[in-house]
Amino acid sequence: MTAPDLTRRLVAELVGTALLVTVVVGSGIAAQRLSPDDVGLQLLQNSTATVLGLTVLILLFGPVSGAHFNPVVSAADWLLGRRTRSGLSGAEVASYAAAQLVGGVLGAVLANVMFEVEVTRLATTERTGLPLWLGEVVATAGLVALIFALARTGRGALAAPAVGAYIGAAYWFTSSTSFANPAVTVGRVFSDSFAGIAPGSVAGFVLAQVVGGLVGVALVRYLHPEVGEAAGDVVVPHPETRSPS
């Protein structure tokens, strides 16, 4: 099967990431308005929408781009597949990451417009400190390990429900509510709402996500030494994106 050209894959990553952030931010705004006095219920509503939305988006865009929607996942794809040349190339990772970051910002803006939230106002919710950073390390490490373990064991088709379920659970078992994604983190800066994160908190979160990604790569490489052979199947099995030369 011929792989979709890079432009189509980048459009899929941009639109998919934008819609993911729209789901996260939009459901956060709705939850805040529907349950203004119950933060726990707000989180339940937000996490439920994210589980369902992420699952659908992976199924929709996975066959085109692999449905990474996450620079850490794209970088892990390259890192694990570079020896066997089965994953993204370095240039493709950079392109994917750029598309994902732009998509994250556009998704937050779209949610703001739909819910009549001031578009030019940045988030003011401070999220910082070792406990939250540790939560991001744990969330991102588990996400990367799950994705590549499924690919390596021939169960990549289960990625949509499995990834959705993991992120939904991680909303609750991590102190950070599991951003686990630099593009989503940056996007959430652009909405001063329940789901927002203040600009000054982004660097710590992104660094923790990078560390978590490396931990996840190390774990899955140890548990599945031949994981690189399946790097091209992440997140959803899709046509080979890299030439064998």
Q: Higher-confidence residue: 240 or 73?
A: 73
Q: How many helices (H) and strands (E) does the chain have?
A: 8, 0
**Residue 237's pLDDT band (cuts 50, 70, 90):** very low
Over residues 112-122, the mean pLDDT reads 95
Any idea where the domains of the chain sit in the sequence? Answer: 6-229
Please provide the DSSP assignment of 60-88 as one string: HHHHHH----SHHHHHHHHHHHTTTT-S-
Q: How far is CA 158 from CA 89, 149, 162, 178, in A?
A: 25, 11, 6, 21
Lowest-pLDDT range of 39-43, 188-192, 226-230: 226-230
Q: Higher-confidence residue: 4 or 235?
A: 4
pLDDT tens digits along 13-23: 999 999 999 99
* pLDDT(42) > 80: yes
- Which of 174, 221, 186 lies closest to 76 in space, CA to CA? 221
User: What predicted TM-score, i.e. pTM, was given to this entire model?
Assistant: 0.91
CA–CA gap between residue 130 and residue 128 (Å, rounded): 7
User: Could you tell me what percent of the chain has a pLDDT over 90?
Assistant: 82
pLDDT tens digits along 143-162: 999 999 998 888 888 999 99
CATH topology classification for 6-229: Glycerol uptake facilitator protein (1.20.1080)
